[in-house]
Structure 1
């Protein structure tokens, strides 16, 4: 896995959100952006993480942050996830792994002795110039906003 690091310029990307709208990095030019990657919509850890960000959304916004959630789920699954938990931020459906590969979060994992390729739960904070200012590799799903702030 070749993960983006602090100081790296994020390459331009585009992917569909839960409603099928194209969202691009350039849409956030001049803004601070939090991009959080999660393995699968509606699973316990991913739900806890996204709900923690939702519950602290006003504080994140007050500090000038925009948020984007990303997984390889379908737009329909992302839409169901967003509607069920009332997330105020877009969820990208990166089915072809374009964004996952740009950030370097797709790679070998191990769970209960099984090895497979999947999404590593990581968060990237990107500054107004499109440069990574912080990488959170060990995400605390229930207290993730505090890690960012």
Structure 2
């Protein structure tokens, strides 16, 4: 027969308690639902009164506004930064406009002041250092002393950059200044703008700034000779 368990052996093996298993499970309360941040909420909500992105639109308007100077109740806007980059058309009898452009040295040129002491000839070329334009430019170069003797100054006007004009001037030893009009503001006002192109032409302003003659279009070789003939006829 198997030996009987004594009280000692029975106490040495503790019985597992079933009280823990019988306790009811503790219910965990659900945590608070996190709300979207105010910035995300605003982005998700439709804008009131159809003013979507009002702040960003306002910034764009401010950025697009031209710089203006206020003084003595007047507001002046520089001609180069007007919304349409236009000047009043210049025809025979009109005077040089108030406009600041750059010369081949990247220096400011006040157009209205050019004819203060001498007459002015603007000859316009489509593109610097191209065959036809070089013929026209060198033609004015070769008879430049004749214009000076008649109290006239010659200027080449084009939409080329100042750097391109300087390179061309040095290459061909052009003795007169070159004026850069990249937005074709003066070129269009003179009637020589053709979309993104410049019509070959020349314009003669007498001392004081009044336009007295224009040739548009004109052939490269004819432009210098016709300009000189007109000035001589006025003398």
* Structure 1 moving runs of 4+ over 4 Å: none
Mind listing any 5+ residue stretches in structure 1 that lack a counterpart? 109-116
SS in 1 for 2:221: helix
CA distance in 2, matches of 1:138, 1:46: 13
How many positions carry a matched residue from both structures? Answer: 140
Counterpart in the other structure of 1:44: 131
Q: Deviations over 1:39-73 (max 9, x none)?
A: 00011110000000000000111111101111111
Q: Deviations over 1:7-32 (max 9, x none)?
A: 12221222111111111221431310
Retained in 2: the 8 A contact 1:37–1:70?
Answer: yes
CA distance in 2, matches of 1:28, 1:136: 19
Counterpart in the other structure of 1:113: none
Retained in 2: the 8 A contact 1:34–1:124?
Answer: yes
Counterpart in the other structure of 1:130: 209
> 1:37-76 counterparts in 2 under 5 A?
37-76=124-163
Quote the offset at 1:3 in angstroms: 5.4
Q: In the alignment, is residue 6 of structure 1 matched against residue 92 of structure 2?
A: yes
Normalized per residue, the structure richer in strand is 1
Quote the offset at 1:129 in angstroms: 1.9
SS in 2 for 1:134: strand
Q: In the alignment, is residue 102 of structure 1 matched against residue 189 of structure 2?
A: yes
Tell which deviates more after alignment, 138-147 or 28-37: 138-147
1:104–1:138 distance in 2 versus 1, CA, 3 Å = closer
CA distance in 2, matches of 1:140, 1:96: 24
- TM normalised by structure 2 equals 0.56
CA RMSD between the two structures: 1.6
Mind listing any 5+ residue stretches in structure 2 that lack a counterpart? 1-87, 229-235
CA distance in 2, matches of 1:138, 1:103: 12
Normalized per residue, the structure richer in helix is 2
Quote the offset at 1:96 in angstroms: 2.1
CA distance in 1, matches of 2:118, 2:93: 16
Q: Which protein shows a greater Rg? A: 2
